Amino acid sequence: MNDHAGNGLSRRCFLTAAVAVGIVAGVSPTVEGTNRHTPIVRAVAKARPAVVNIQGRKRIQSPTSLVGTQGGRQVKGMGTGVIIDPRGYILTNHHVVEGVERIEVTLANQQTYVGYLTARDKKTDLAVIRIEAPEALPVIPIGTSSDLMPGETVIAVGNAYGYEHTVTSGIISALHRPVQVSETQHYPDLIQTDASINPGNSGGPLLNIDGEMIGVNVAVRVGAQGIGFAIPVNEAMEVASRLLSVERISRLSHGILLKSVESEFGPHVEVLGTREGSAGESAGFQRGDIVRRVDEKEIVRKLDFELALLGRRSGEEVPVEIERGGARKTLSLVLQGPRRSSLPAVDYAWRDLGIQVEPVSRRVIRQMQGAYSGGLRILRVRPGGVADREGVRRGDILVGMHEWETATMENLEFVLQSEEVAGKPRVKFYILRGGRTLFGWFDLSR
């Protein structure tokens, strides 16, 4: 098993993750209507409240296959994120939070919270964390990356070198750039910009002149002048819709296959079909339906649909307004809970992984400096079993498998029964040991 932070920063030998953040706190009424109240000033004022600064510590050490390897050095990591839901869900880069022992999130109003890793996708270098704030938070205005133009003015906002909310501006230099960051990280389609992007800006927004996010800043070419990159916002929102799907987060299912569509009439969400026996099929959704509203929430992209269902209960009836053949109608969607298996999670864990586990609270995780919402303490390891062969020990806390957290027994049961995991011979896992996040691979083929 390897230290989770051990290879997280190696990509910086070619590209350094980045974005920029602004000091403009808002626009004073005394300057409105003057030449100082430029489009860039207005754009920053519009987006800035939803940009957050991320701090954390990572342990850097040489790669090793031994789970309990100690040593290495701690470095202070920094990055940026954008609030995409008023309940505190924040989108950032995967490499910003990878291996971080405690995620600290500072809002534009200087309030600081502990962030908890909710979901991640290393392949696309995107992740979602969540903070628990007492009030609804401002959400970043989201634009589109489908109509971007080389030469178009853009603005970057981020935690550059730890200087909170630094603002820089420039233009789009090129579109659809494939960029190889390292042997394991490749971005197939990035926006290139000459807006100054620096270490610490990763995960922050690239804005258009209207103050809408059109990209997620991700990297800068080391040694180059004015060459930075951002993930197009359309791609980022598609990934975010998967990371925050109601099935992944709440273990509920709707069974509706959707796609985000850009048209001359604006963006909308279209139904591709429904899974057999699903809640969507029972509700009467059909291919070609356009989803307009879920309850009181307007639906513009797939992420809106998933967020509108997040936090609902199994069996809850949700009104969904659709457009079919030019006419609007309301369907009643009743969310389904996870299918119960013949075995409880504790038996799956022993049978498939060779471990006995029990839940531990978020309070215990916090004491260990872990940025997770919970975990499963390992009570017993079967000699010669899957976990034993990876060096897992009694007392370790299992906090994640594949792309999901294992905060509860139900989480673990879901992961072990999921189609994604069932089709893989090896599954990545994450544990906490002595305040450090370690990772390894469970060989399920054996």
User: Considering 125, 194, 289, 352, which one is annotated as catalytic?
Assistant: 125
Structure-block tokens of residue 398: 């299992």
Helical (H) or strand (E) element with 405: strand 404-405
Structure-block tokens of residue 115: 């962030």
Q: Are 44 and 156 in contact (CB under 8 A)?
A: no
Structure-block tokens of residue 279: 């809640």
Q: Is 42 exposed, middle or buried (0-12, 13-18, 19+ CB in 10 A)?
A: middle
Structure-block tokens of residue 2: 């390897």
Rounded Cα distance, 309 and 143, in Å: 22
User: Considering 169, 202, 245, 253, which one is annotated as catalytic?
Assistant: 202
Q: Strand 73-85 and strand 89-93: pairing? A: antiparallel
Whether 202 sits among the annotated catalytic residues: the reply is yes
How many other CB atoms are there within 10 angstroms of residue 275's CB atom? Answer: 13
Whether 94 sits among the annotated catalytic residues: the reply is no
Helical (H) or strand (E) element with 416: helix 409-417
**Closest residue by Cα to residue 41 from 52, 25, 19:** 25
For the chain, how many helices (H) and strands (E)? 11, 28
How many other CB atoms are there within 10 angstroms of residue 39's CB atom? Answer: 13
Structure-block tokens of residue 21: 């953040």
How many other CB atoms are there within 10 angstroms of residue 421's CB atom? Answer: 18
* Side-chain-side CA neighbours of residue 410 (13 Å): 10
Angle at 429 between CA 424 and CA 434, to 5 degrees: 170
Whether 125 sits among the annotated catalytic residues: the reply is yes
Quick one: how far is CA 324 from the chain centroid?
33
**Closest residue by Cα to residue 17 from 244, 238, 233, 231:** 231
How many other CB atoms are there within 10 angstroms of residue 174's CB atom? Answer: 13
User: Considering 4, 95, 165, 254, which one is annotated as catalytic?
Assistant: 95
Query: Which residues are designated catalytic?
Result: 95, 125, 202
